[in-house]
Structure 1
Amino acid sequence: MSKASARPLTPQYRTISQTSASQKALPLSLKTSGTSANAGENKSKILRMLMFGKPGAGKGTLSARLVKKYEILSLSTGDLLRQHIAERTEVGRMAEEIVATGGLLPDDIMLKVVTSKLDMLHNKHWILDGFPRTLGQGKLLDDHLKTRGTPLSLVVNLDVADEVILSRISDRWVHLPSGRVYNLSYNPPKVPGLDDATGEPLTKRPDDNPEIFARRLEKFYASTSPLLAYYKTEASRTTRIASLSGSTSDEIWPQLEGLVRTSFPNLKERAETREQRLRHSLSDAVISRSEHDSLTKY
């Protein structure tokens, strides 16, 4: 996409700083909101996390990296809903009827879908994906978790500039069968236009265009910005609110990992991750020793 085609976005759409509700939402910092917890409390804290960001900001990529490296459960609202429908639960039958007619699920039904799982995870670290999306949903979830004694412990906002995301989605190509995503700017396929693993053609997602992105961005400002403002003003001493900035997921990842490791020191790496790191360390040590031995021969 040419720069000219991207230019109309600037005058057409509000930036976060131009949105009254979001003015309260985005001056977030890495400091803990409310009274800071002492070291003993910090060690026992459980990660119960929400991640927000504009469409294309990298929420899915960064959540996946956390889940892959650490013992964290990723809970997708869509997956939970499909499970309820498949298992013919009471809430699943109610949801199926509404979905079949093309309607939107009421907030109370969505809350039941989500909390039916969350209520079983008292001592588990988790990230919730897809809920809440509106201020009303956020208040319902917040109230429910607090009554169960399992309040949110971390809310993260990914602050990525509009123009960066537009450029990112313009350069994005996907292998639809596998879901593998490529970006011509920083993660191009080995052979232009073809998937690295299968050699099959890559395609553009239907919503990867400026017009649809602009509509999704407006929806974000209308619904998510007030929700972020709510968490900023209503956060208790148990909930940490943070905003992480960057142009790519690779830039934001060290900030996110550092925040999580500092705030939740009892969070464990997955066994396979530790084993891989150990193998790499041993391999590096062997290489270093071999290089040293060959140098000392002369």
Structure 2
Amino acid sequence: MRLVLLGPPGAGKGTQAALLSEKLGIPHISTGDLFRANIGEGTPLGIEAKQYIDAGKLVPTDVTARMVESRLAESDTEQGFLLDGFPRTVEQADILEELLAKQGHKLDGVLNFNVSEDVVVERMLARGRADDNENTIRTRLGVYREETAPLIDHYGDRIINIDAEGSVEEINDRAMTALGRS
């Protein structure tokens, strides 16, 4: 099963990805983890990405896409994967479609974790991180809406909406049911 996970910061994508990965027997591929691994290992892509990060800039789509392409070529993804953090834009979604087509695959679905802004703010404030205050959280949510709303339209009938409010177990049950794996 080849899935993309969408949802705002604080929607619980990482938590759900870990559970789904275990239950479905496919790897969770987070772009954040990919960046950390490539930078930590000093790969050419990691060195390139680090230059942007150190300058306070976003890592360009082509660098991120090459990291994702390299990761999707690994043998543990043959039965599928959960992609978290890529694509973030319609341009990246098109790149992903091309990468998968080269491998003779396509996405099976896009899990969209829906959660209200107030719940996100509450969850993120509860984490107690220094950079999590209500203003910065709401700004990040605004950026997410601007970048991701077009993705939801782009994926159309491949979107699988999941109510991401409630307990971790309830949300996971909803996701597994939506995937026909309950």
TM normalised by structure 2 equals: 0.85
Note the alpha carbon deviations across 1:161-211, whole angstroms, 9 max, x for none: 2223233334x24xxxxxxxxxxxxxxxxxxxxxxxxxxxxxx21243321
- From 53, 58, 61, give the equivalent of 1:99: 53
CA pair 148-85 structure 1, distance change in 2 beyond 3 A: same
Query: What residue is the counterpart of 2:175 in the other structure?
Result: 256
1:132 deviation in Å?
A: 1.4
Indicate the RMSD between aligned Cα atoms, in angstroms. Answer: 2.2
> Does 1:230 find its partner at 2:148?
no
What one-letter code is carried by the residue in structure 1 that aligns with 2:81? W
Distance 1:117 1:124 in 2: 14
CA pair 161-104 structure 1, distance change in 2 beyond 3 A: closer
What one-letter code is carried by the residue in structure 2 that aligns with 1:152? L
- From 2, 9, 23, give the equivalent of 1:69: 23
Query: What residue is the counterpart of 2:38 in the other structure?
Result: 84
Comparing 216-225 with 86-95, which one deviates more in the overlay?
Answer: 86-95
- From 161, 167, 178, give the equivalent of 1:243: 161
Distance 1:146 1:247 in 2: 34
Distance 1:214 1:147 in 2: 38
Unaligned runs of 5+ in 1: 1-46, 174-203, 266-298
- Pairwise mapping of residues 50-199 of structure 1 onto structure 2 (< 5 A)? 50-121=4-75, 123-170=78-125, 172-173=126-127
CA pair 217-109 structure 1, distance change in 2 beyond 3 A: same
Query: What residue is the counterpart of 1:205 in the other structure?
Result: 129
1:115 deviation in Å?
A: 0.8
CA pair 88-165 structure 1, distance change in 2 beyond 3 A: closer
What one-letter code is carried by the residue in structure 2 that aligns with 1:254? D
What one-letter code is carried by the residue in structure 2 that aligns with 1:215? T
CA pair 207-251 structure 1, distance change in 2 beyond 3 A: farther
What one-letter code is carried by the residue in structure 2 that aligns with 1:212? T
Distance 2:170 2:139 in 1: 26
Distance 1:93 1:163 in 2: 38
Please state whether the residue corresponding to 2:153 is helix, strand or coil: helix
Distance 1:102 1:227 in 2: 25
1:49 deviation in Å?
A: 1.0
Larger radius of gyration: 1
Residue correspondences, number: 180
CA contact (8 A) 1:52 1:59 kept: yes
Higher share of residues assigned helix: 2
Please state whether the residue corresponding to 2:48 is helix, strand or coil: helix
- Pairwise mapping of residues 18-29 of structure 1 onto structure 2 (< 5 A)? none
CA contact (8 A) 2:6 2:84 kept: no
Distance 2:136 2:12 in 1: 17
CA contact (8 A) 2:7 2:113 kept: yes
Unaligned runs of 5+ in 2: none
Distance 1:126 1:229 in 2: 22
1:59 deviation in Å?
A: 0.9
Distance 2:9 2:43 in 1: 32
CA pair 228-250 structure 1, distance change in 2 beyond 3 A: same
1:147 deviation in Å?
A: 2.7
Please state whether the residue corresponding to 1:103 is helix, strand or coil: coil
